[in-house]
Amino acid sequence: MKHKKFLSLLLSLVMVAALAAPAMAAALPAGWTPADGARMAEDPNAITILHTNDTHTYIGNVQEVGEGEKKTEVPGLRYSTVAGYKATLKNVLLVDAGDHVQGTVYGAEDKGQTIIKLMSAAGYDLATLGNHEFDYTMDGTKNVVEWAKESFPYVSCNFFYKDEPVLEPYKVFEVGGKKVAFVGITTPESITKSTPKYFMDENGNYVYSIAGGSDGTELYAAVQTAIDAAAKEADYVIALGHLGVDEASKPWRSEDVIANTTGLTAFIDGHSHSEIPGQEVADKSGKTVLLAQTGTALNNLGKLTIASDGTVTETLLTMEDLSGVTPDANVAKLESEFIANVDEKLNQPVGASEVNLNIAGPDGKRSVRKEETNIGNFCADAFVYAGEKAGFEVDVAFNQGGGIRATLPAGEITTKMIKLCYPWDGDVAIKDITGQELLDALEWSYRTANAANTNEVGGYLQIANMKVEVNLGIKSTVQQDENGVWSGAPTGDYRVQKVEILDKATGKYVPLDLNKTYKAVSGPYLLEQMGDGYNMFKTGEPAKFVANDYVTLVDYIQSFPVNEKTGLPTVALGVGYDEFVHTGRINYVNRPLDLNEKEWWYGAATQALDAGLMEGTDKGFDALAEVTTATVLQTLYNAQGRPDATDAEVWYTDAVNWAVKNKLVEDFAEDKTAARGEVKEILDSYLDMLGVTTGEPLMKGNEKGDLMLDKALTRSEFAQLLVNLTAVPMPLA
């Protein structure tokens, strides 16, 4: 199958037509481009599939229009826009790939019922279940399906109750003279990313399951069975999945499913909040399948087109693209009335903040799921405050980063903002846990942390009254079952090497006692319901209720001093929650187990590892291993920010091209062990490139001053050179 964005011939025809008869453009339906008109004129049987995913109940999107004093907010991309655009198209279907009933106060208000009313009114034809469709318990999931059934069905080929399918695995539509089948796929991560207890009976036995398999084979088999059945009835088979492309979701990603199945025409995806405007992925037979995803929060509307010749294209439409669309009046009325009713109840200020309490870091990524953050600290401290306010002794508190959904911006903070941060309407509780259970929870939490700090995990713990040190040089060997639930301590060393607990009597931190009982405040989601796989809290009495989750934030904010100017309790600058400042609660180090403090190279190795200039190998730091030329060039290339990076197949290609261009090396035939003399020449050329000089030579040789230029460079020696290099006054990333 050929995939291409535009047909050049058609574009030419459109341009000619536009020049010859300008009035033709005005005749196009609102929201149509000239390319749309040309395609439909040339190919009236083309099929359009509009799609959304991970809308997370963002039904009130707005956009700014005008300049200066005339700037104002008007409705942005909403369900009413989607409905209005669908009405302009022929041979069209509208589908959703999951996570549409939870995420903001608008979903939590009635557990998604109004969202389903809006989707029904907007003309949705089909949907699949995302992991957040399970957030209102299994009865809540059944309610969602029931509310929707008169307007659109749900499909999922891998969701079972006692080995029997809960939903139809696929649905076939006849459109444009062809039959199009959609195979529904639900992420196996739903069990832990929602609440495992929701999938169990009263005796703690799993009765609901989502086929996945630790190696993905159960998922692939379920999908292939559905594809094969659907292919007997349809001309095209499209996956409507909630799997995503995040590395942490392997082997259950959409790319994994495509690579291990055959027969799909395209894959409409969700879950990872990725904007994918048409990625070509080879299936098991080598055939290309188009993968698409719209991002999140209804920032885009996906538009997948199947031409009569089978060509598949994908476009992501923004509100700017759809600015000419007339919103559907009925849907717009439902939206505005519901939003107004909810906002009226929740727009009263409860306090203020002088700092942004951020879920994201400076790079825009969700830091709350991968490192210490100010909002994570704030929410965990609020748990401590709530427990103590309720009359309990509190030792520690923790909260999963994925449960903190929105930033609390500087300025007035309203109840609505807090409910956007905590849309769950969940409980906070206190429970006795052992030091060993706490250690196992922390080990589970930080199992995917990496030196590049790229792995986001919803179950990442933000903590209070404790400090932890995580050794990224130790590979996680924590045990889990087939559902991704913790099942045992690591089979090797713990990554969490140090845990210290605040002694409130002295104000000092003391080592964790594995045999001691600690009073921990968190949500029942973690303490008792195995949420995010936390299945280690087995001892002690049942958890005791402390407060509603959003009340913990309200009360904590109102515990701060009142600002005389505003009359509001205010979180001030400098009280421990400043933006993008780590306070030492969660600390990462990189210490392979073969590091020896008695060796001459220990200090250099630890500095290079902690700075991210080097990483351990599968053998540890491996101090005596020889370094290759490509490794040296790649390290320097990384230090310069990887300019002009490509997707080259060989890992060092970009670094070599950069080095040749900047005359660090003359040529590079093949990678081989680097001699000390060769590395000295490369580093000298690197310093020349930067225009800097050193007071002391980077390479100093042995006690006799012999530089041993013909000797192979070892990893320990390379570490020392890198440390020497960082002492030179120049920008080294």
Residue 609's pLDDT band (cuts 50, 70, 90): confident
Last residue within a domain, chosen from 569, 587, 605: 587
**Domain-embedded: residue 645:** yes
Residues 599 and 583 in one domain: no
Residues 274 and 363 in one domain: no
Q: What does the pLDDT look like over 357-406, one tens digit per residue? A: 999 998 888 999 999 999 999 999 999 999 999 889 999 999 999 999 99
Q: Is the Cβ–Cβ distance between 303 and 278 less than 8 Å?
A: no
Whether pLDDT at 2 is above 90: no
Q: How confident is the model at residue 9 (pLDDT cuts 50, 70, 90)?
A: very low
Q: Residue 433: which CATH number?
A: 3.90.780.10
The helix (run of H) or strand (run of E) holding residue 524 is: helix 524-527
> Do 531 and 575 have their domain in common?
yes
Identify whether residues 252 and 122 lie together within a single domain: yes
- Final residue in a domain of this structure, among 340, 365, 396: 340
Arithmetic mean of pLDDT over the chain: 91
Query: CB neighbours of 381 closer than 8 A, spacing ≥ 6?
Result: 397, 464, 556
Whether residue 214 is found in the same domain as residue 308: yes
Q: Is residue 684 part of a domain?
A: yes
CA distance 526 to 463: 13
Instruction: Return d(Cα 497, Cα 397) in angstroms, integer.
Output: 19
pLDDT at residue 18 is higher than 50: no
Give φ, ψ of 485 to 5 degrees.
Answer: -100, 140
Q: Work out the average pLDDT over 639-649.
A: 89
> In terms of residue numbers, what domain contains 203?
43-340
Flag whether 463 is in a domain: yes
Could you tell me if residue 6 is inside a domain? no
Res 426: pLDDT: 87
Question: Do 646 and 690 lie in a common domain?
Answer: yes
The runs of H, that is alpha helices, within 149-248 are 190-193, 217-231
Residue 6's pLDDT is what?
31
Measured CA to CA, the distance from residue 241 to residue 296 in angstroms comes to 15
Q: What pLDDT does 171 receive?
A: 98
Asked if residue 32 has pLDDT above 70, the reply is: no
Q: Identify the pLDDT of residue 623.
A: 93
Specify the CATH number for the domain of residue 106: 3.60.21.10
For residue 469, the SS3 value is strand
Rounded distance between C-alpha atoms, residue 249 and residue 77, angstroms: 29
In this structure, are residues 470 and 586 in contact, taking their beta carbons and an 8 Å threshold? yes
CA quadruple 173, 176, 179, 181: dihedral sign: negative
Domain assignment present for 468: yes
Residues 355, 276, single domain; the answer is no
Residue 35 located in a structural domain? no
Distances in Å between the Cα of 619 and the Cα atoms of 344, 473, 595, 606, 616 are 61, 11, 11, 16, 8
Query: Are 446 and 322 contained in the same domain?
Result: no
Could you tell me if residue 28 is inside a domain? no
Half-sphere exposure of residue 529: CA atoms within 13 angstroms, side-chain side? 22
Q: In this structure, is residue 25 part of a structural domain?
A: no
Question: 628 and 511, same structural domain?
Answer: no
Q: Is this structure's pTM higher than 0.75?
A: no
Least confident of 20-24, 406-410, 542-546: 20-24
User: Is 557 found in the same domain as 428?
Assistant: yes
Determine the residue type at 531: G
Rounded CA separation 443/586 (Å): 12
- Bridge partners of 116? none
> Which tens digit of pLDDT belongs to each residue from 191-224?
988 889 999 999 999 999 999 999 999 999 999 9
- Which of these three, 537, 565, 587, is where a domain ends? 587
Number of structural domains the chain divides into: 3
| 22 has pLDDT over 70 | no
Cβ atoms of 393 and 519 within 8 Å: the answer is yes
What is the spatial distance between Cα 264 and Cα 270, in angstroms, rounded to a whole number? 17
| Judgement on whether residues 356 and 320 belong to the same structural domain of the protein | no
Residues 559, 440 within the same domain: yes
Q: Give the burial class of 26: count Cβ atoms within 10 A of its Cβ; 0-12 exposed, 13-18 middle, 19 or more buried.
A: exposed
pLDDT of res. 105: 86
